[in-house]
Amino acid sequence: MRLLPTLLLAWTFAGISIILADNNREPVQIVLDYAQFSYDENLVYLEIYYSTSEDQLTYVDREGQFVGAILLWVVVIAQKNDSILVDRVWRTPHVGDPDLLDPDRKVVGMIGLTIPPGKHKLRIKYYDEMDRSRVDSISFDLPERTFWERGPAISDLELCVSIEKASPDPGNIFYKNTYNAIPNPSKLYGLGKPLLFYYAECYGLTADEKNGLYQLLVTVSDRSEREVYRRSYERVKQVGSRVEVGTVNVSAMPSGRYNLVLTMVDSSIGLTVSTQKRFFVYNPDLVAAEESISPYVEILYGELTEEQLNEEFAKAWYTASKSEIKGFKQLSSSAAKRIFLHSFWRRRDQTSATPISEFREEYFRRVDLATAKYSSGARKGWKTDRGRVLILYGNPDEIELHPNEIDSKPYEIWYYHNLQGGVYFIFVDRTGFLDYYLVQSSARNEINDPTWQSR
């Protein structure tokens, strides 16, 4: 089985990137979203939003800067005659330090293009620019949007991590209509992102001297279609179009799937038009009262004490993101921790076709192997450096033993021929009690000390 997760889906926790195998052999993982707006009476403006964790990219040293980039090849095809409307590649560069890459730090981009109204197919192929073997693709149908034929209308909703007033800047791809709107393609909010920001455009508005107001209604419903948020605003009628931006605080919403709906209501002319978008909330300490815990959670975690639940997450530490570690520490009940751990492992499965997390099973097989082989004194094997490397990268292809070198402590060299083009790990028995410490490695994000032998 492959240990790296596939393309992040709706329930995938934003910012997670787990390196358990050769990252260069897996497709670069991104999340995508889109929104359609009116460009003029004859064209639709399509925006495609995408993001990835900065540690997903391959970096190349160019004049002292480590540069990586995402390439997106976008093709739009008209369904009525299969004609190609758009065929173009976009590039989003990023400068990062390979030794300080943060899976919670995002590389975010946006593509803007015009297309005629109608039903279209959207095909996107995305690459790691510095390693183009890391390629994946997605395709889906774009719903038809027309904004000027039937009177007032609302664009699609763009969900954002922030929206601020800003001055025009030709170099800022996120600037539009006096706002700097940073998209959130994952559509995931909650822990670390308590405020959902939204952006929409209203079209075909007309002034009315007798009744100069209309109502804008913002609602949020959970997956049971139960309304959990409602707020209404009065708007002055005006000719043309209007931008609507706002926020919804989701910090008190239990983890789950929700639907945000924006509705224009003008009772004087019997007008009701709306737009909606699904989003997701991850508040690990909040569980909906009506949410049933799956039988698998009960079987796997139901008998575990809080101490045992804490130990399981401690063993999972090597593959957890900073935000997940923070989230688990904030949990105050065993029930919340059981649900957290279930979701934690399910997010790492390549497929959800089976109720069992194959990723978890493989991970703990390695934990048990590390415990059996590398425990030393009071230190359990999974807590040792050799245990950690075994858990994250699997068994090495080759181990070179140096137990009796003259003028040197015992040391081992582990070789992984297919990891990142070939890497090694050097462990030294510093104390003489078979407790080996990692002192040097050529792998990314691992200790790099060329002077290890002299020390």
Q: Which helix (H) or strand (E) holds 327?
A: helix 322-329
Which phi and psi (to 5°) does residue 56 adopt? -80, -20
Phi, psi (degrees; rounded to nearest 5) at 316: -85, 0
Amino acid 207: pLDDT: 67
Q: What is the pLDDT of residue 355?
A: 58
- The token pair at 275 is 């737009």
What is the pLDDT, as a whole number, of residue 89?
A: 95
- pLDDT value at residue 350: 62
Give kind and range of the element (H or E) at residue 306: helix 306-315
| Burial state string for 38-50 with b = 16 or more CB within 10 A and e = fewer than 16 | bbeeeebbbbbbb
pLDDT at 87: 95
* Interior angle at CA 159, CA 33 and CA 145, nearest 5: 60
Q: Read off φ and ψ for residue 351, nearest 5 degrees.
A: -140, 150
For 87, the enclosing helix (H) or strand (E) is: strand 84-95
Output the average pLDDT for the chain. Answer: 83
Place of tokens 């399910």: 346
Q: Which residues of the chain carry a pLDDT beneath 50?
A: 1-25, 289-292
Q: Give the H/E segment covering residue 390.
A: helix 385-393
Residue 69 neighbours by CB under 8 Å, 6+ apart: 57, 91, 92, 93, 94, 128, 129, 130
| pLDDT tens figures, 346-391 | 878 765 555 567 788 889 999 999 999 898 777 889 999 999 999 9
Specify the 3-state DSSP secondary structure of 323.
helix
Q: In angstroms, rounded to a whole number, what is the distance separating the alpha carbons of residues 357 and 344?
A: 10
Report residue 111 CA to chain centroid gap. Answer: 18
* Overall residue count recorded for the chain in this entry: 455
Q: Residue type at 172?
A: N
Q: Which residue type occupies 299?
A: I
Question: Which tens digits make up the pLDDT trace of 188-239?
Answer: 898 889 999 999 998 877 766 556 778 899 999 987 888 999 999 988 877 7
